[in-house]
Amino acid sequence: MRSFGTICLILLVTSGLFAQKKARDFKVTTTDKKSIELYKDYLNKGKIVMLKIFFVDCPPCNDIAPSISNLYKQYRTQNVEFIELSNKTWDFDAGVIGYKLKYDLPFPGVSNDGGSVEASNLYSDNYFGPFFGTPTFIIIRPDGTVTWDPRGITRNETVAKLDAALAEAVKSLSIPTPPPPTPVDTTKPTPPPPIPTPVDTTKPTPPPPIPTPVDTTNPKPVPPTIPKLVDTLHLSGKLSLNSTTLGLVKMNLIWNEKSYNFSTDIIGKFKIDLVDTFKNSGSAMLTIDYNQDYTAGVSTSDLILIQKHILGVLRFSDYKQLLAADVDSNGDINVVDLLELRKLILGLTDKLPNSPSVQFIWQSPNNLIRNSSGPISYSDLKSLSGKSFDIQVVKIGNVN
């Protein structure tokens, strides 16, 4: 009995220690490209924050998501904010946006693009309590104290415990009472209004200035205005990976020494107008701010297919396969590409030495395949104006 009592005492003391620990601050960028900080934007303003650690393909996360949506709508007007952080490196903005839309989750969501993995790691190291996987919920009060992962055996039990923990946190918020109004001394009479200063009306108003005479006998001719020759190129299209459009991806195009910044919308479409003055209309350079983990979608089956291509057993005919198989981006598919890809699959390296993780291709109106890593000629820009400029993402190493 003494040992059992000792264990209970240790558990109570440990629980008290967890309650005293303060939340760790973090700064992330949400899927709608808004930078947020835990303390600066929420806790220091008296808000309660519920963190949800999840990932897009997590089955229990998807199962509980509709209930979390209802819970947020219940507490959103009570000084409470929810923030969901993906703890997987392969969850990018597009995936988290799709998850939010699917389950009607209007609160901030953060993917690996916005630093979610680093932020979630601050709460998954068992410092605040045992981390049992996703989903994990952390309720943080304005003073930084943490209620760790209210969890039940079933989904409904978990939702009920979250509801109770949030209600308790809201109840604990102290609402300051406004100070009483300062009493007004009504015993003193109101002073009379000040006597206006007399205006000296003896001085006459000065006459208006005499206008400068204009010489109209020999007017100078006005030079004719020569209109500038200006045209506008209208580029529009979409960005996609394996037929899935990519939303909210930043893009930049430099042309005629001018930089144009734009991005895809939430469904992966983009539109930009370029001013064409017909002066120095040279090539343009397009950069797209999108990457993937080098190991994403790469497996031993890709090694086998690339080897068959090199041996001539089964040649690639699709340009995307040829581009994906050129692992070292030297324009040739050979045994070096196999070796580099094998090291990546075995975990001997985490990136390819001479290649990005993805390449971008598009098809010109005359059906020529172009790679956006090179310049876009003026003639291609002109031919794309008013037509569909669809850009496809090719994952290097993934020939499947």
Q: The CATH number of the domain where 49 resides is what?
A: 3.40.30.10
Q: How far apart are CA 306 and CA 315, in angstroms?
A: 9
At CB < 8 A and 24+ separation, what contacts does 320-323 make? 320/361, 320/392, 320/394, 321/399, 323/359, 323/361, 323/371, 323/394, 323/396
Tally of domains within the chain: 2
* Same domain? 167 vs 242: no
Comparison of pLDDT for 184 and 102, the residue scoring more: 102
Q: How is residue 284 annotated by DSSP?
A: B
In a domain, 297, yes or no: yes
- Domain extent for 130: 16-172
pLDDT of residue 19 exceeding 60, the answer is no
At residue 373, what are phi and psi to the nearest 5 degrees?
Answer: -70, -20
pLDDT of residue 141 exceeding 90, the answer is yes
Q: Which of 141-155, 210-224, 372-386 has the weakest average pLDDT?
A: 210-224
In a domain, 47, yes or no: yes
Return the pLDDT at 14: 41
Q: Which of 116-125, 192-201, 315-324 has the weakest average pLDDT?
A: 192-201
Return the pLDDT at 350: 84
* Same domain? 251 vs 372: yes
Closest CA to 58 of 31, 88, 102, 25: 88
pLDDT band with cut points at 50, 70 and 90 for residue 380: confident
Given 154, 172, 190, the domain boundary residue is: 172
> For residue 164, what are the contacts with CB-CB under 8 A and spacing of at least 6?
150
In a domain, 222, yes or no: no
Per DSSP, the three-state class of 166 is: helix
- Beta strand residue intervals within the chain, DSSP E: 27-29, 35-37, 48-54, 80-86, 109-110, 136-140, 146-148, 231-241, 244-245, 250-255, 258-263, 269-276, 285-288, 358-363, 369-371, 391-395
pLDDT band with cut points at 50, 70 and 90 for residue 176: low
Residue 287 pairs in a beta bridge with: 252
The one-letter amino acid at 152: G
pLDDT band with cut points at 50, 70 and 90 for residue 182: low
In a domain, 72, yes or no: yes
Q: Which of 35-44, 150-159, 244-253, 380-389 has the weakest average pLDDT?
A: 380-389
The one-letter amino acid at 294: Y
Q: How is residue 6 annotated by DSSP?
A: H
Q: How far apart are CA 111 and CA 95, in angstroms?
A: 8
Closest CA to 95 of 247, 265, 263, 264: 247
Given 172, 188, 209, the domain boundary residue is: 172
The model scores a pTM over 0.85: no
pLDDT of residue 229 exceeding 70, the answer is no
* Same domain? 152 vs 241: no
Average pLDDT over residues 116-136: 93
pLDDT band with cut points at 50, 70 and 90 for residue 113: very high
* Same domain? 259 vs 361: yes
Sign of CA dihedral 362, 299, 90, 155: positive
In a domain, 380, yes or no: yes
Average pLDDT, the chain: 81
Closest CA to 363 of 347, 376, 344, 348: 376
* Same domain? 46 vs 133: yes
CB 296 within 8 A of CB 400: no
Q: How far apart are CA 76 and CA 83, in angstroms?
A: 12
In a domain, 202, yes or no: no
pLDDT band with cut points at 50, 70 and 90 for residue 120: very high
Return the pLDDT at 196: 65
Q: How far apart are CA 334 and CA 130, in angstroms?
A: 49
In a domain, 180, yes or no: no
> For residue 257, what are the contacts with CB-CB under 8 A and spacing of at least 6?
280
Average pLDDT over residues 180-204: 61
In a domain, 100, yes or no: yes
Comparison of pLDDT for 224 and 301, the residue scoring more: 301
Q: Give the CATH number, domain containing residue 275.
A: 1.10.1330.10
